[in-house]
Amino acid sequence: MYINLSGLNILVTGASKGIGKSIASKLAEAGATVAVHYNKNMREAENLAHVLGNESRAFQADLSKKDEAANLFDRVILEMGSIEILVNNAGVAKAAEIDGKEADWIKSWNETIQVNLTSAGILCKKTIEHFLKRNSAGRIINITSRAAYRGDTAEYMAYAASKAGLVSLTQTIARAYGKDGIKAFNIAPGFVRTDMAKEAMEKYGTEHATADISLERMTEPKDIAPMVTFLASGMADHATGSTIDMNAASYVH
């Protein structure tokens, strides 16, 4: 299947490594110009933008801070002129023991919600406003998690809650703005072989990540990227509002 995304500007958050890097690479391979968002990995992000070509550029923002998401969007628009597709991929998974210090638990909760849900929500809002102002169709693709549906271990309570909120946000966008040409989708991975999953696997063992999958290997970032590219193409627009499970059948609806 040939997908041509030439002429489309796509903002991918958390794109300097892991799932985001694979997504950005696949989108650029299809011709898109990618705004490569990063927090701390400046060299990796700038190198990636250079490799991607198509006038792709790197943009820094710390999405754990309240004003950064809006500022990120505004900078991308200023430098690139428009955004046709938003991919909310950036996320954190911070363990917080329920019997630890309450202040630590609250801090972890707030940071997780800020990055995974609030900043993602702000970017969705800004993107929708941008689409409506231009009277143009567009797509929002949110990377959620199977944890949104089946929950997670107790110390990752905030992570599961944030991803559940992101699912509902996506569904609401799809229902509210479909007639304006705006489509929204969720992709829900399980464990993916990334740095984010490393902490949990070190604590619980690799068996914890692979015991309930039905395929022969753990999901990798390269397995997620083609689905994002397909959704970005417009060929699945009537699936707007849906969640696509990509977790090797460790959770199925």
CB-CB contact of 174 with 142 (8 Å): no
CA dihedral in degrees (62, 67, 72, 73; nearest 10)?
A: 140
Return per-residue pLDDT of the chain as tens, 253 residues: 789 999 999 999 999 999 999 999 999 999 999 999 999 999 999 999 999 999 999 999 999 999 999 999 999 999 999 999 999 999 999 999 999 999 999 999 999 999 999 999 999 999 999 999 999 999 999 999 999 999 999 999 999 999 999 999 999 999 999 999 999 999 999 878 766 656 655 666 666 566 688 887 888 999 999 999 999 999 999 999 999 999 888 877 7
CA atoms within 13 A on the CB side of 187: 26
Domain that holds residue 96: 9-192+221-246
Inside any domain, residue 130 = yes
User: What CA–CA distance (Å, rounded) separates 86 from 118?
Assistant: 15
- 159 is known as an active-site residue: yes
User: What CA–CA distance (Å, rounded) separates 164 from 169?
Assistant: 9
SS3 call for 189 = strand
What's the confidence (pLDDT) of residue 30? 98
Inside any domain, residue 103 = yes
Cα 104 off chain centre by: 26
Inside any domain, residue 211 = no
| Phi-psi group of 81: left, alpha or beta (phi > 0 → left; psi -120 to 50 → alpha; rest → beta) | left
Contacts of 79 (CB under 8 A, 6+ apart): 57, 59
- Total domains in the chain come to 1
- CA dihedral sign, ordered 18, 20, 22, 25: negative
Inside any domain, residue 201 = no
Inside any domain, residue 204 = no
Given 38, 156, 159, 251, which residue is catalytic?
159
What's the confidence (pLDDT) of residue 206? 65
User: What CA–CA distance (Å, rounded) separates 130 from 182?
Assistant: 11
Inside any domain, residue 214 = no
Inside any domain, residue 231 = yes
Inside any domain, residue 213 = no
Q: What is the CATH number of the domain that holds 31?
A: 3.40.50.720
The 3-state secondary structure of 56-108 reads: CEEEECCCCCCCHHHHHHHHHHHHHCCCCEEEECCCCCCCCCCCCCHHHHHHH
